[in-house]
Chains A and B, each alone.
Chain A
Amino acid sequence: MAALDFLKTAELLKQGAEARVYRAEFLGKPTIVKERFPKRYRHPTLDEKLTHRRTTQEVRSILRCRRAGIRAPVVYFVDYTSHCIFLEEIVGSSTVRDHIASSQQSDSGTEQNLQQLAERVGQILAKMHDEDVIHGDLTTSNMLLRRSQKDGESELVLIDFGLSYISALPEDKGVDLYVLEKAFLSTHPNTEELFEKLLKSYAASSKKSSAVIKKLDEVRLRGRKRSMVG
């Protein structure tokens, strides 16, 4: 299998929950290869169906985002047999998660920086949802910041569209934001205000935001008012 042979020469960066991520050079470009390897704990039929579905969904969502001008990695190549996606490497970037964590530890004038970052995240998510792309796994580890050489402005890039799908439903967008809120607040304690800023920015930037925010409020309550009698 050509793709897997290729990976033998690549550098393994990490083993995430979904896939192994490698760094390599493909067609002369710095490339990230995402290999969805078989999960031995799953029934083989379920595993194959799920892996295939997630590979195709990921690629489709990235393309849809890029077509709308949302910054996501370029897809160079997909091997559907080994479930490998060859993506543009966002060189010189760090995750928003690491950025927030290190900003919180040092406290030199970071308040404004974090607020600006939150606003930008809200904007990019609004754009994505207006394209009816549901990311499905929004966390601060799935957003990258790359310092642009030219003017010092950093670029915000969305990655990891493995659980994504297309939907116009406010419910799905609300749940998407709910997933981010939970991940955000549990990873970065005491950032409730920062997240509020993110949501305000989202609401201001999205054309369809009020229904989504309403659904977000409903989903939040569901977590608290779940009946266990059934």
Chain B
Amino acid sequence: MSRSSAAMTVVIGFEGSANKIGIGIIRDGEVLSNPRRTYITPPGQGFMPSDTARHHRAVILTVLKEALEQAGLKPADIDCVAYTKGPGMGAPLVTVALVARTVAQLWGKPLLGVNHCIGHIEMGRLITKANNPTVLYVSGGNTQVIAYSERRYRIFGETIDIAVGNCLDRFARVIKISNDPSPGYNIEQMAKKGSQYVELPYTVKGMDVSFSGILSYIEEAANKMLSSGQCTAEDLCFSLQETVFSMLVEITERAMAHCGSQEVLIVGGVGCNLRLQEMMGVMCQERGAKLFATDERFCIDNGAMIAQAGWEMFRSGQVTELEDSWITQRYRTDEVEVTWRD
């Protein structure tokens, strides 16, 4: 399929790999619409795949209508239907992929399966215009330090066990912090009121980090410390953030030193955290580097980021055939050939 370079390309993106279901429309770098819904569980509970899928099924068509209406477009105006191929939770991924496949066939448009992590990166690059940054991708499901090299987003450092967001979310459950709007947001607000630094395990292994140790420590010790009055819940939130964020800043700095990079881009839901941004900013300032970050519209999982990555892939000639439009729970960032960059 040939495209005249003057014609505009409109891509719709479907995202639902975790508890957020979002559908966004992008036209040549302009976000035309980006509605989203979040499945929130009661305090003390995490979200399970089947319940999450059920939530997404119930709202997805409403969100799709919103996306088209807010963009002022009809299906005929769409050039490509992009969806999250993975990584993520199985049932929610299937639910969303099913709708994407269906509308692609109904509207007669090509499909594109997008890597969720690359969606975050490409949205970050679009919004911040960062040139070639070291990317810290941190969310409930992922924690990676990524740098682009020779047609791959290479993973320089990552968690060797759980994601930092997962650590924060599970800590929130232990002390029954509300999941509305998100456990991480509430930890951040409480941390602002904390003052006492409680020593917690700090684990950096080269360019990698490990969070399961600090999580098991704090899961075991939190309730004891709180009932003995040794510290407040706010102090624990504060101490946990200071520790895990220091670990993230450290591995980012290592990657920058190794690659000789002068730019940092933070993406993913945990990237909304202003304390993390502040700490990264201090590190950057000391090295003479520049920090880029986006706000909650684009940090948190959303449909437009899938549309944006899809737009890049589509323009470079990629398409996903129907028989290849399956989803996968494991999908490494460096598996994708980045055909749209040199």
Contacts and interface: CB of A to CB of B under 8 A. Distances in A.
Interface in B143-169: 147, 149-150, 154-163, 166, 169
Interface in A118-158: 136-139, 141
Contacts of A27: none
Of the four ranges (under 10, 10 to 19, 20 to 34, 35 or more), the interface on chain A belongs to 35 or more
A179 interface: yes
Contacts of A178: 160, 208
Contact of B242 (A42, A138, A139, A141): A42
A223 B159 CA distance: 8
B199 A45 contact: yes
Nearest to B255: A17
A15 interface: yes
A55 to B, nearest CB: 15
Interface stretch (A79-87, A181-189, A191-199): A181-189
B330 A45 contact: no
B89 A228 contact: yes
Contacts of A179: 205-208
Interface in B180-220: 197, 199, 202, 204-208
Interface string A216-230: 000100111110111
A137 B207 CA distance: 7
A225 B330 CA distance: 7
A141 B259 CA distance: 11
Interface stretch (B29-37, B119-127, B276-284): B276-284
Nearest to A49: B199
Contacts of A183: 156, 206-207, 258
Contact of A224 (B18, B147, B205, B330): B330
A92 interface: no
Nearest to B256: A17
Given A46-B202, A179-B205, A189 B89 contact: no
A176 to B, nearest CB: 8
A219 B210 CA distance: 12
B46 A230 contact: yes
B142 interface: yes
B197 A43 contact: yes
Nearest to B281: A41
Contact of A186 (B154, B249, B257, B279): B154
**Residue with the highest number of chain A CB atoms closer than 10 Å, among B156, B170, B206, B283:** B206
A39 interface: yes
Contact of B206 (A15, A40, A137): A137
Nearest to A16: B257
B156 A45 contact: no
A229 B197 contact: no
A16 B250 CA distance: 11
A197 B298 CA distance: 44
A175 B159 CA distance: 12
Contacts of B206: 136-139, 163, 176, 179-180, 182-183
A228 B163 contact: yes
Contacts of B279: 41-42
Contact of B202 (A50, A137, A219, A222): A50
Contacts of B161: 222, 226
Interface in B62-94: 87-89
Contacts of B257: 16-17
Nearest to A53: B202
B43 interface: no
B142 A228 contact: yes
A186 B149 CA distance: 8
A56 to B, nearest CB: 15
A189 B49 contact: no
A189 B205 CA distance: 22
B253 interface: yes
B13 interface: no
Contacts of A189: 149-150
Given A224-B330, A225-B330, A219 B160 contact: yes
12 contacts: A41-B282, A43-B246, A45-B199, A49-B199, A137-B254, A163-B205, A175-B205, A179-B207, A222-B160, A225-B330, A226-B330, A228-B163
Interface of A: 15-17, 39-43, 45-46, 49-50, 136-139, 141, 163, 175-176, 178-180, 182-183, 186-187, 189, 219, 222-226, 228-230
Given A50-B246, A229-B48, A229-B89, 10 more contacts: A17-B257, A40-B286, A41-B282, A42-B242, A43-B246, A46-B202, A136-B205, A178-B208, A179-B206, A180-B206
Closest 4 CB pairs of A and B: A179-B206, A228-B141, A41-B282, A41-B279
Interface of B: 18, 46, 48-49, 87-89, 140-142, 147, 149-150, 154-163, 166, 169-170, 197, 199, 202, 204-208, 242-243, 246, 249-250, 253-254, 256-258, 278-280, 282-283, 286-287, 330, 332
